[in-house]
Amino acid sequence: MLSITAIKDGYEDIKRHQSDRHVNHSQARVLAGGDWVNPNMNGKKSRTFVRGIIPRQRPKRKDVEADAATKQDPDIEYDHMDSMEEGEHHMFGHTGENPRPHWHKTMWEDIRVGDFVKIMDNEPIPADILICATSEEDNVAFVETKNLDGETNLKSRNACPALTDLHTAADCVSKLNAFSVECDRPDTNMYRFNATVTRNGGKSPVDVQTVLLRGTVLRNTGWVVGVVLFTGVDTKIVLNSGGTPSKRSRVERQINPQV
């Protein structure tokens, strides 16, 4: 009986671990290059027991160099406008120490507060993000929120009025476009969000209408550029998720002390 119970619990833990790994290893486009450094203080990523013992394998140096010489790095994307202006030869791998601004594909678990991210159409939102600009003329984005509230109809979200000029990676990196965001502590209310954006001495309010929450999916919108406000356990969807319920039957609870 103990062996069968151990096998059953181990199988459930393995399936849960695989599900978490699938979500954590999903990819998102994060701003990189152009001497961009996230000014926010971020702690190191915690490691599980298996990851602490078995190091992550990386491709060899010579393989990376040979691959960069023959084709474009699949993890690096440039804005279409910048690519057209600077020529097609820039579409290949970087050779300098400070490459020009670009979007680098990064795993969800590596996204940090303060990172600029670019979400494409039909992609899930990796964290709670403040909308800077969208592909629409009115800076409107449409999201599907059925994973949060069960509603299948699309909802509209607007970009922050003070940040609508941040369309490309170069705009986000530029020091002339620097700004700061002051937020309240994370709470469980899905329909309340209070923050303030300070730029060039002026302040603009931020509410839930200008934020994309984790768990939603971008729909009918070409792209959205935003800045990460909350990640991981601080996101509203995780704060509202309860603990794992116990599935022990009455017979199992009675037999447990006897065993």
Provide the pLDDT for residue 35.
Answer: 81
Domains of the chain are 2-40+48-242 (2.70.150.10)
pLDDT tens for 70-103 read 455 677 877 765 544 444 433 333 344 557 888 9
CA distance 180 to 229: 11
The DSSP line for 17-49 is: HHHHHHHHT-EEEEEE-TT----S--PPPP--H
DSSP 8-state class, residue 124: B
The C-alpha atoms of residue 104 and residue 125 are separated, in whole angstroms, by 16
Question: Which tokens hold the place of 141?
Answer: 């984005």
Q: Is 144 helix (H, G, I), strand (E, B) or coil?
A: strand
What residues does 198 pair with on adjacent strands? 180, 203
Per the model's pLDDT, the better-predicted residue between 223 and 247 turns out to be: 223
In 3D, which of 227, 214, 224 has the Cα closest to residue 118? 224
Q: How confident is the model at residue 226 (pLDDT cuts 50, 70, 90)?
A: very high
> For residue 43, what pLDDT band results from cuts at 50, 70 and 90?
confident
Dihedral over Cα of 125, 76, 141, 171: its sign:
positive
- Check residues 158 and 148 and name the one with the higher pLDDT: 158
Q: What is the pLDDT confidence band of residue 40, given thresholds at 50, 70 and 90? A: confident
Q: How would you class 225 by CB atoms within 10 Å of its CB: exposed for 0-12, middle for 13-18, buried for 19 or more?
A: buried
Give me the pLDDT at residue 87, please: 45
Share of the chain above pLDDT 90, in %: 36
What is the per-residue pLDDT for 91?
A: 35
For residues 125-142, average pLDDT: 92
- pLDDT tens figures, 153-197: 999 999 999 999 888 999 889 888 889 999 889 888 888 889 999
Specify the higher pLDDT residue, 88 or 139.
Answer: 139
Tens digits of residue pLDDT in 230-255: 998 899 998 888 766 777 788 888 88
pTM of the model: 0.76
Residue whose structure tokens are 């965001």: 181
